[in-house]
């Protein structure tokens, strides 16, 4: 089944908020064989919303809408849908009861704005929002369905899983199967990878399609499959993945769309090792990326962010003379940092970073973007220096990725 998404909100169009709802929906419904035809982001404007509805219904039978259902004046989705689908705004007692329960559970008082969340178009069927005050609304016309959902991610996600997806599945049974497979590749640039895979790509069956997603030194290689027969599709994908492994060997870090921090975590768990990080320019981001992975407490001992040089010296044992002779952004400093954090926290492996994330702090010898990184596993220590382009966030993110890759490669060499 194909569906369209309409994301409503001025805050998205002026770039103050980034839409993550449409991506979440896509990932959630993809196993059902549902594909987004397009995502359109529009303003809190009745004309724009109606135009987007017309365009969406012209190409798909299902339109999922998020946003514009808040209690404040800038949110006009409900009134607009009432105009679009007809009927009038009515005060719905069942919805009012639900709003009251949600508000009570949160331990706050019902005020007039929140009370008015129970006003809904008479042309819709309400799906009660069990985790928020904005009702979900289901509209039908000429065999086509539009579902309007709040933009608050956890409300949309919770009720989409509990009610919207099951109800849409029953309403639109679909014969096509869609399946994606992703491989994580490192150590090669995109165009070189594409040349290596030229013959492979040309030999793929009609039902498969290859996509390249390079990001910060890692390429996600994704096979998209679509076929009426789930077994045939699975066999085609299995064969293609096996061919990719034969062609790319150890350029493939792992099967599946797995964050680097989880690949590193799996390797540590496999080898029964613990790790720590000692972070200057990455400022805690390596620890953050690693601890975003559920279960990371099994192998992640902790970290020290040593933003002030005295922390490098006092806690991580970097000698003052080394700092004086080589500066803090240097090979001897990061090599002592990986040693020092292992000694301090009592663990087997570590990574360290020291660099200039910018925009200030650069010198002719050590320009903005320069980052020294080290990794330690057992008695082996490796280090490297890179100069990353881009702004502060980008330097921090690249250094985070490259430092984790450095340790991963060291662990896999064993």
Q: Which residues within the stretch 316-355 sit at the binding site for a copy of itself (CB under 8 A)?
A: 344-346
Q: Is 256 in the site for a copy of itself (CB under 8 A)?
A: no
> Which listed residue (60, 182, 350, 383) binds a copy of itself by CB under 8 A?
182
Q: Is 84 in the site for a copy of itself (CB under 8 A)?
A: no
375-414 residues in contact with a copy of itself (CB under 8 A) are 389-394, 396
Instruction: Classify residue 154 as exposed, middle or buried by CB count within 10 Å of its CB (0-12, 13-18, 19+).
Output: exposed
Q: Which two tokens stand for residue 69?
A: 């259902």
Q: Which residue in 116, 134, 118, 135 sits closest to 126, CA to CA?
A: 135
Question: Phi and psi of 142, rounded to 5°?
Answer: 50, 40
Q: Which residue in 324, 325, 274 sits closest to 303, CA to CA?
A: 274
| Alpha-carbon 132 to chain mean position | 24
CB-nearer residue toward a copy of itself: 87 or 174? 174
What is the closest distance, in whole angstroms, from the C-beta atom of residue 1 to a copy of itself in the complex? 14
What is the closest distance, in whole angstroms, from the C-beta atom of residue 406 to a copy of itself in the complex? 18
CB-nearer residue toward a copy of itself: 357 or 375? 357
Q: SS3 for 345?
A: helix
Q: Is 169 in the site for a copy of itself (CB under 8 A)?
A: no
CB-nearer residue toward a copy of itself: 87 or 200? 200
Q: Is 240 in the site for a copy of itself (CB under 8 A)?
A: no
Q: Which residue in 306, 388, 377 sits closest to 342, CA to CA?
A: 377
> Which listed residue (87, 187, 217, 283) binds a copy of itself by CB under 8 A?
283
> Which listed residue (87, 259, 284, 362) binds a copy of itself by CB under 8 A?
284
Q: Is 48 in the site for a copy of itself (CB under 8 A)?
A: yes
CB-nearer residue toward a copy of itself: 62 or 357? 357
- CB count within 10 Å of CB 3 equals 23
CB-nearer residue toward a copy of itself: 123 or 375? 375
- Cβ proximity of 81 and 56 under 8 Å: no
Q: Is 108 left (phi over 0), alpha (psi -120 to 50) or beta?
A: beta
14-43 residues in contact with a copy of itself (CB under 8 A) are 14-20, 22-27, 30, 35-43
- Cβ proximity of 349 and 377 under 8 Å: yes
Q: Is 307 in the site for a copy of itself (CB under 8 A)?
A: yes
Tell me how far CA of residue 75 lies from CA of 49, 128, 133, 388, in angstroms.
12, 19, 14, 42
Q: Which residue in 354, 350, 269, 235 sits closest to 306, CA to CA?
A: 354
As beta bridge partners, residue 136 has 127
215-234 residues in contact with a copy of itself (CB under 8 A) are 215, 220, 222, 224
Q: Which residue in 158, 212, 209 sits closest to 180, CA to CA?
A: 209
What is the closest distance, in whole angstroms, from the C-beta atom of residue 341 to a copy of itself in the complex? 10
Rg of the chain over Cα atoms, rounded to whole angstroms, equals 26
CB-nearer residue toward a copy of itself: 236 or 282? 282
CB-nearer residue toward a copy of itself: 123 or 134? 134
Element (H, E) at 291: helix 285-291
> Which listed residue (150, 340, 355, 358) binds a copy of itself by CB under 8 A?
358
Residues in the chain: 414
CB-nearer residue toward a copy of itself: 123 or 329? 329
Q: Is 107 in the site for a copy of itself (CB under 8 A)?
A: no
As beta bridge partners, residue 127 has 136
What is the closest distance, in whole angstroms, from the C-beta atom of residue 379 to a copy of itself in the complex? 22
CB-nearer residue toward a copy of itself: 123 or 155? 155
What is the closest distance, in whole angstroms, from the C-beta atom of residue 196 to a copy of itself in the complex? 10
What is the closest distance, in whole angstroms, from the C-beta atom of residue 55 to a copy of itself in the complex? 6
């Amino acid at each position: 089944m194909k569906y369209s998404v309409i994301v409503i909100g001025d805050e998205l169009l002026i770039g103050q908020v980034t839409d993550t709802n449409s991506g979440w929906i896509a990932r959630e419904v993809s196993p059902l064989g549902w594909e987004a035809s397009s995502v359109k982001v529009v303003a809190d404007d009745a004309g724009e919303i109606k135009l987007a509805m017309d365009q969406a219904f012209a190409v798909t039978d299902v339109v999922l809408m998020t946003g514009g259902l808040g209690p404040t004046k800038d949110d006009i989705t409900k009134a607009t849908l009432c105009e679009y689908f007809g009927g009038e705004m009515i005060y719905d007692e069942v919805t009012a009861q639900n709003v009251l329960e949600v508000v009570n559970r949160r331990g706050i008082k019902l005020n007039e704005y929140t009370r008015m969340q129970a006003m809904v178009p008479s042309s819709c069927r309400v799906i009660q929002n069990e985790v928020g005050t904005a009702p979900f609304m289901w509209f039908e016309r000429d065999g086509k369905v539009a579902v309007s959902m709040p933009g608050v991610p956890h409300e949309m996600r919770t009720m989409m899983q509990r009610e919207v997806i099951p109800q849409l599945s029953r309403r639109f049974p679909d014969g096509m199967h869609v399946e994606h497979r992703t491989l994580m590749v490192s150590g090669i640039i995109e165009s070189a990878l594409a040349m290596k895979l030229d013959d492979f790509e040309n030999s793929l069956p009609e039902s498969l399609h290859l996509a390249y997603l390079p990001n910060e030194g890692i390429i996600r290689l994704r096979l998209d499959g679509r076929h009426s027969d789930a077994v045939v599709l699975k066999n085609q994908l299995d064969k293609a993945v096996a061919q990719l492994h034969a062609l790319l060997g150890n350029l493939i870090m792992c099967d599946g769309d797995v964050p680097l921090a989880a690949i590193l975590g799996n390797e540590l768990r496999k080898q029964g090792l613990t790790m720590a990080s000692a972070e200057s320019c990455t400022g805690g981001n390596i620890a953050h990326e690693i601890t975003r992975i559920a279960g990371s407490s099994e192998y992640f001992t902790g970290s020290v962010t040593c933003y002030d040089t005295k922390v490098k010296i006092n806690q991580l044992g970097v000698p003052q003379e080394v700092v004086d002779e080589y500066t803090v952004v240097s090979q001897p400093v990061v090599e002592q940092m990986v040693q020092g954090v292992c000694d301090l926290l009592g663990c087997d492996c570590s990574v360290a970073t020291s660099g200039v994330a910018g925009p200030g702090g650069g010198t002719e010898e050590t320009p903005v973007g320069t980052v020294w990184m080290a990794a330690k596993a057992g008695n082996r220590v490796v280090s490297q220096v890179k100069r990353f382009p881009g702004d502060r966030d980008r330097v921090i993110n690249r250094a985070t990725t490259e430092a984790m890759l450095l340790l991963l490669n060291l662990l896999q060499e064993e």
